[in-house]
Amino acid sequence: MGCRQSFRQCCDRPKNTNVRISLPAVCFVWQIVMIILFGIFIRYDQESDAHWAEYRTFQNISSDIENDFYFRYPSFQDVHVMIFVGFGFLMTFLKRYSFSAVGFNFLIAAFGLQWALLMQGWFQSLDPMDGKIKISMESLINADFCVASCLIAYGAVLGKLSPVQLMVMTLFGITLYAVDEFIILNLIHARDAGGSMVIHTFGAYYGLSISWMLYRPNLDQSKRLNGSVYHSDVFAMIGTLFLWMFWPSFNSAITDHGDGQHRAAINTYLALASTVLTTVAISSLSQKTGKLDMVHIQNSTLAGGVAVGTAAEFMLMPYGSLIIGFCCGIISTLGYIYITPFMEKYLKIQDTCGIHNLHAMPGVIGGIVGAVTAAAASEGVYGKAGLINTFDFTGKWKDMVPSRQGGHQAAGLCVALCFGVGGGIIVGCILRMPIWGDAPDDNCFDDELYWELPEDEESIPPILEDNNHMRNRDVTESHFSMEQSQN
Amino acid sequence: MGCRQSFRQCCDRPKNTNVRISLPAVCFVWQIVMIILFGIFIRYDQESDAHWAEYRTFQNISSDIENDFYFRYPSFQDVHVMIFVGFGFLMTFLKRYSFSAVGFNFLIAAFGLQWALLMQGWFQSLDPMDGKIKISMESLINADFCVASCLIAYGAVLGKLSPVQLMVMTLFGITLYAVDEFIILNLIHARDAGGSMVIHTFGAYYGLSISWMLYRPNLDQSKRLNGSVYHSDVFAMIGTLFLWMFWPSFNSAITDHGDGQHRAAINTYLALASTVLTTVAISSLSQKTGKLDMVHIQNSTLAGGVAVGTAAEFMLMPYGSLIIGFCCGIISTLGYIYITPFMEKYLKIQDTCGIHNLHAMPGVIGGIVGAVTAAAASEGVYGKAGLINTFDFTGKWKDMVPSRQGGHQAAGLCVALCFGVGGGIIVGCILRMPIWGDAPDDNCFDDELYWELPEDEESIPPILEDNNHMRNRDVTESHFSMEQSQN
Amino acid sequence: MGCRQSFRQCCDRPKNTNVRISLPAVCFVWQIVMIILFGIFIRYDQESDAHWAEYRTFQNISSDIENDFYFRYPSFQDVHVMIFVGFGFLMTFLKRYSFSAVGFNFLIAAFGLQWALLMQGWFQSLDPMDGKIKISMESLINADFCVASCLIAYGAVLGKLSPVQLMVMTLFGITLYAVDEFIILNLIHARDAGGSMVIHTFGAYYGLSISWMLYRPNLDQSKRLNGSVYHSDVFAMIGTLFLWMFWPSFNSAITDHGDGQHRAAINTYLALASTVLTTVAISSLSQKTGKLDMVHIQNSTLAGGVAVGTAAEFMLMPYGSLIIGFCCGIISTLGYIYITPFMEKYLKIQDTCGIHNLHAMPGVIGGIVGAVTAAAASEGVYGKAGLINTFDFTGKWKDMVPSRQGGHQAAGLCVALCFGVGGGIIVGCILRMPIWGDAPDDNCFDDELYWELPEDEESIPPILEDNNHMRNRDVTESHFSMEQSQN
């Protein structure tokens, strides 16, 4: 702790937010590296290669509709919307940080998905015959999933990091995710369709640990900007709703064809519906006159989707999904009311979007629910073939039984936690170096640092026509004088 | 009428908008009841159960792609977007009611879909073998449809009811809908793929009747807030466009596999395109200098989708769809210009969103179009198998002929009207009780009553850097003084 | 040039922006013509007709899922979102032209798609047996594509044309597009899945030529309105993101079933990801302190999708897609920085949205990439069947070879350029006639001319409750006095 403290002091030099060299350099170099690595490693798989026609005849596949594209594409597009519009707009709630919220989200997602295709490919789908990674629609979905974990982490540090730091955070985040995922899904053989553990738990603790390492004791100097305005809250609702609506696609995107996707979508739909009601209830209870708080509605209503992630494809039963959503709505909203202020005050963790309440706690709950429901699975409920399909008791895992599977699920959750916290601390150290161009404490949450902003809204000429010309002159003048004082 | 008047007076006590007890209570109690009822009644159906693999082998189904999930899921997601983003954002047009528009829409939809799964299940898909309701993707679409009728009703009372009242309105609305739908589709055997009758006609008259019962003679005390601002109109266009674009999915979501879905999508697409042109024409004609009115563009452009609902799967022919859209654009826009003010002044019906023009009239037209086109159906146009498929002349209806089907369609329309008006009057009586926390007449259309609002937009500190610190102090001070004067 | 100049002067009379006669007349007459022509020409095709059940049995098709609807519908809906929300919101960035951006986009798209169904039908799918055009989901996608080219052209003239002019521009644009497309795809037999040539190159040069013909030397009189405000930039990001996310659907919507759609989606996804990074890099480099410019992020990030359009279904290889995106991000952003001001100053082309950088240059690059990659195609990479499928070497083209195909692609690009420039000049001449109600030079980019605008945002009554009544009176008074001064 003392060591951390002194390391901190050594890094606390005056801030320079000019990223004119570092940001273009990072973007160019990394993109060129991507091109080279893609050139060496990445090829189309059987179903996206022009040899598909021959492969189809050879495999005796009756129709093009059996191409995995048609099983996955609608879900893929929904997930894609969640990543770019969902996460991007959810974070636009700050009054003067909407450009960065949606713009940096865009940047790091676009970089992250390329790196994820490589990392996940190396770990999971390297073809031993030719040493190439074969990509298909499912790889793209997995890359989007991987990116999601880094965008969750972005939520914790929103407003406090420079775009260069975000790129670094994403680079390491994706790397850690790929290792983490390989251990949990392949080595431990845990099931995690919707990623409660690998995406949400890992991503949230990764972000929270970074935020802890980058604790800013004087952040309240920026508190004038750490809040919303009316329209920015409405923008954020766009993000919330697209996340909420498409979450069934998120949790079902890579589950088994047929009943697996079908059931995962139904379970998620129900869990989310239930969460909305308990979120509203707790939010209303928490205020003197029963008024609702937009922060809760924007975030906690999504907790049920997180918590049902791991178990979405299991036979949770519809009422089981409702119960999970019920609990998570309560816990997540209470988290916003009590835990976030507590963490900021006593644990030195500043969590801008409250990802601890939206992703960390529900993610852990999701992992536990997954472990319990896996352990309780029986042939009576699933059927013999259903049990094998759902838990993938094939190959070297053919002798697995549900009770042991439950243990493996629990182990997976622990791995996700360790990777999140450990990785976050290491990456946080790296990000403390005073070379990244992050904002000074009194200027966080401000687009002004990294964006050319348009002139102020108030200077729009009013619509009255009679004195239009006179006004225009005034406006132009004041606009010029503004520019002068700025430069 | 006198009775209604005196009942009204008895209910007109001073308003208390504190919902801190009632809203959480309603949310908790109803959600717990949902969990219990889901536990007793609701299970997965064949295609979402883990036994699907066995069922598939047993039924000799060649591929997982035949699972109904793949026929319905893309349409389901589009409908889902319409319900939450479409309806939600369409109602954000009011300058200070966007939180409530999108937030309460969210709340009542999330509750409504759970209750709809139960109600529709009891009436339509109770398995006689085990007394359970088996749900699948199609049930979820139907639940979303059912919710749509209540969101339409919300449009009439937007800005005037408390969230508790909206929950009560939804509870009864869903219940009435399920009965109504059972009578129209099952007992009368009318066809109504896009729900012109069961969704739009019922929902709109249900809402209008409630609004009539809750007539507020002094509502003009709130007229300062009953209007839009520039950006709120742009937000509303998000709703309009998502409704408009996805309406083909709405009307085709539960039609027959294959040509039924294909044709319903094409017909809806064309009807909507045609509506846009006539809406613009009438809107421009109605103003002295030919300017367009955003209210018309936001709403009347959708009328064609409503009116083509019942007949979407019939052989309307592309030009038939265009004609329906053509007429509805005209009628709906004229409704906004002439009928809504008339209704408010003489019929005591205050219709905030103008649902009479967007849903009620086009819904009735849709019902009539459905009756006429059904009666005119012939084996020449549909083919023998096509006629049976389209109108479902199977089972106990195998001797049905198109001309009689036309009569049944008309009967269905009458039932929808009766349920809407009758149900609305009864529920309106219930909602007049002075216990629900609705807004006083001089404070309608105001988020302030039920939401913690962020500070005012004007107090964003300007972006000039030179005098940043001085300004910040000012802003913080004025912010504090605002809070003091508020409390 | 002198001729153009004098024609210009003859047209430059004082402007009258009243469209009360012309706009409704155009809408009504054209919609009625559409209905008549649809009545004469347009019918359902085999897969959307009620005879499908019989056809299916006859053709021995095993399942309804083989109906083309299920191959195309998810892509269709994504394309539909791009047309209406993507293009519509992308153009809302102007501070006072959001209504027109999204509203006129809506109007001309709704008209254009009807006319496109007819024009494309006459050229490409007229049934010789009965002289009817048979439409299906693929026709609807093609109609949306056709409309896209006119919406691109709208980007160049945004803020400067009246809705009547836009309708005329669309009428001719669709007509030219259909001829252009017929020559390129059918006569020349070029491949152009994502429309780099037929949609983007044609559309952009069509718009730019019109803008050149309609050059306004005094447009800087409106420069107070030719810019964004904070929230309008966030609205524009909605458009950007929906275009960006759904571009894989755009490029794969009408490619071959199976591997063709699969590969096109992957290639587009990768090209777009790569573009984002280089756009950010150049945008940051171009500013003194490395700040990003929203204009670049909103537009140049999409250039990769345009450039990969023609070759999306070819075996570009993942790294090939990345390289295309890499280059286009750079070129497009540099275009915004250097070429757009140059074109305005020296070439007299005022390009409001910078479509030259987003569509014209990347479109031409896409055409060249298509020609090169087609010429380089080999049986080794594609397989024998794959080569025939991908390039459609069937029927009278069965003796075609890749090297010659490359030449045909290049020829196609030239045709698109000629049609764009030539058509634009002719239509520009027509639009210069002083009868269309366009804006005067000092009042461009202003919704006020064609829309009833809501009262100003500043007049929202503050939320303080104590002095509510007094304020309301003030507000109402000032609102009235505003109305008086306006009339």
Q: Please name the helix (run of DSSP H) or strand (run of DSSP E) that holds residue A44, with its range, or none.
A: strand A42-44
Contact between residue C137 and residue B266 where contact means Cβ atoms under 8 Å apart:
yes
Rounded Cα distance, A310 and B354, in Å: 44
Is it the case that residue C11 has pLDDT exceeding 80?
A: no
* Interface contact A465-C448, CB threshold 8 A: yes
Give burial (CB, 10 Å; 0-12/13-18/19+) of A430: middle
Write out pLDDT tens, residues C427-443. 999 998 888 888 888 88
Chain C residues with beta carbon closer than 8 angstroms to that of B258: 47, 52-53, 56, 64, 67, 69
pLDDT recorded at residue B19: 85
**Chains with ≥3 CB–CB distances under 8 Å to B:** A, C
- In whole angstroms, give the CA distance from residue C73 to residue C77: 6
Find chains touching chain C: ≥3 CB pairs under 8 Å.
A, B
Say if residue C467's pLDDT is above 90. no
Residue with tokens 């700025």: A486
CA B469 – CA C288 distance, rounded (Å): 24
In 3D, which of A473, A180, A43 has the Cα closest to residue C317? A43
| Alpha helices (H) in A300-360, listed in sequence order | 303-307, 318-334, 340-346, 355
Instruction: Give all strands (DSSP E) within B183-318, no chain letters.
Output: 292-293
Do β-strands B292-293 and C451-452 pair in parallel, antiparallel, or remain unpaired? parallel
Residue C159 predicted with pLDDT over 70: yes
Higher-confidence position of B137 and C479: B137
CB contact under 8 A, A245 and B457: no
Q: Smallest Cβ distance to B102: which of A225, A234, A288?
A: A234
| pLDDT surpasses 50 at C168 | yes
Please choose, from the candidates B219, B226, B183, B233, the residue with its C-alpha nearest in 3D space to the C-alpha of residue B414.
B183
Contact B23 A385 (CB under 8 A): no
Q: Judge whether residue A212 has pLDDT over 90.
A: yes
- pLDDT tier, C288 (very low <50, low <70, confident <90, very high otherwise): confident
| Residues A245-301 pLDDT 10s | 999 999 999 998 889 999 999 999 999 999 999 999 999 999 888 899 999 999 999
Output phi, psi for B426, to 5 deg: -65, -50
User: Which residues of chain A have a CB within 8 Å of the CB of C381?
Assistant: 50
Place of tokens 């030539």: C422
DSSP SS3 for B134: strand
Q: What is the pLDDT of residue C10?
A: 53
Which one of C18, C41, C47, C52 would you mutate to disrupt binding with B, by most B Cβ within 10 Å of its Cβ?
Answer: C52
pLDDT tens column, C129-157: 899 999 999 999 999 999 999 999 999 99
Q: Do C451 and B288 touch (CB under 8 A)?
A: no
Residue B7: predicted pLDDT? 54
Stated pTM of the model: 0.91
**How far B377 CA lies from chain A's nearest CA (Å)?**
33
Candidates B241, B267, B273, B302; CA nearest to B92 is: B241
Closest residue in chain C to residue B66, using alpha carbons only:
C65
Nearest Cα residue to C423 out of C183, C220, C83: C183
Of A206-210, A321-325, C399-403, C460-464, where does mean pLDDT reach its minimum? C460-464
**Sign of the dihedral through C-alpha A206, A207, A211, A214:** positive
Distance CA(C475)–CA(B467), nearest Å, equals 32
Give the pLDDT confidence score for residue C4 in this predicted structure.
54
Chain A hits for C326, CB-CB cut-off 8 Å, are 31-32, 35
> Which has the closest alpha carbon to A313: A364, A386, A244, A376?
A386
Helices B384-391 and B402-431 sit at what angle, rounded to 10 degrees? 10
Task: Give residue A112's pLDDT.
Answer: 95
Cα C217 to Cα A230: distance, rounded to the nearest angstrom: 40
The torsion angle over the Cα atoms of residues C432, C436, C441 and C444, rounded to 10 degrees, is -130
Report residue C359's pLDDT band, with 50, 70 and 90 as the boundaries: very high
Q: What pLDDT is stored for residue A53 in this prediction? A: 87
The model's pLDDT over A401-445, given as tens digits with 9 standing for 90+, comes to 899 999 999 999 999 999 999 999 999 999 998 888 888 888 889
**CB pair distance less than 8 Å for A140 and C297:** no
Whether pLDDT at C481 is above 50: no
**How high is the pLDDT of residue A65?**
87
Residue A62 · residue A126 · CB < 8 Å: no
**Residue C482: pLDDT above 90?**
no
Among C278, C291, C318, select the one facing A451 at the smallest CB separation.
C291
CB contact under 8 A, A263 and B80: no
Closest by CA position to A352, among listed A220, A156, A217, A209: A156
Interchain proximity C103–B242, CB inside 8 Å: no
Task: Tell me if residue A228 falls in helix, strand or coil.
Answer: strand
With cut-offs at 50, 70 and 90, classify the pLDDT of residue C327: very high
- What's the pLDDT tens digit per position in C188-214? 999 999 999 999 999 999 999 999 999
How far is residue B51's CA from residue A303's CA, in Å, rounded to a whole number?
A: 29
Q: Which pLDDT does position C457 carry in this prediction?
A: 55
At A358, the pLDDT band (50, 70, 90 cuts) reads: very high
Q: Which residues of A touch C78 (CB under 8 A)?
A: 77
∠ CA B174-B180-B185, nearest 5°, is: 120
The dihedrals phi and psi of B189, each to the nearest 5 degrees, come to 60, 40
Q: What percent of chain C has pLDDT over 90?
A: 70
The predicted structure's pLDDT at residue C102: 95
> DSSP string covering C332-384, please?
HHHIIIIIHHHHHHHS----TT-HIIIIIHHHHHHHHHHHHHHHT--HHHH-H
Q: What is the pLDDT of residue B434?
A: 81
Q: Using the 8-state DSSP alphabet, how is residue C455 labeled?
A: P
Interatomic CA distance for residues C167 and C107, integer angstroms: 8
User: Which chains are within 8 Å of A by 3+ CB pairs?
Assistant: B, C
3-class DSSP assignment, residue A398: coil
Interface test with B, best of C18, C77, C483 (most B CBs within 10 A): C77
| Residue A19 binned pLDDT confidence (cut-offs 50, 70, 90) | confident
Given a cut of 80, whether residue A471 has pLDDT beyond it is no
- Does B65 sit within 8 Å of C62, measured CB to CB? no
In this complex, do C453 and A464 lie within 8 Å of one another by their Cβ atoms?
no
CA distances from B267 to B192, B251, B307, C180, C254 (A): 14, 9, 11, 28, 21
Residue A320's pLDDT is what?
95
Nearest chain C residue to A89 by CA distance is C238
Residue A13, number of CB atoms within 10 A of its CB:
10
Predicted pLDDT at C224 = 87
The span from the CA of B55 to the CA of B60, in Å, is 8
How many residue pairs bridge chain B and chain C with CB atoms within 8 Å of each other? 260
Set of chain B residues whose Cβ sits within 8 Å of the Cβ of C97: none
Tokens at C310, concatenated: 């023609």
Residue with tokens 């001719």: C172
CB < 8 Å to B322, chain C = 31, 34-35, 38, 114
Mean pLDDT on C64-74: 91
The bridge status of strand A292-293 relative to strand B42-44 is: unpaired
Mean pLDDT of all residues in C323-338: 95
Residues of C in contact with A456 (CB under 8 A): 229
Indicate yes or no: CB of B285 within 8 angstroms of CB of C460.
no
| Spans of chain B below 50 pLDDT | 1-2, 459, 461-487
Interface touch A35/C326, C-beta < 8 Å: yes
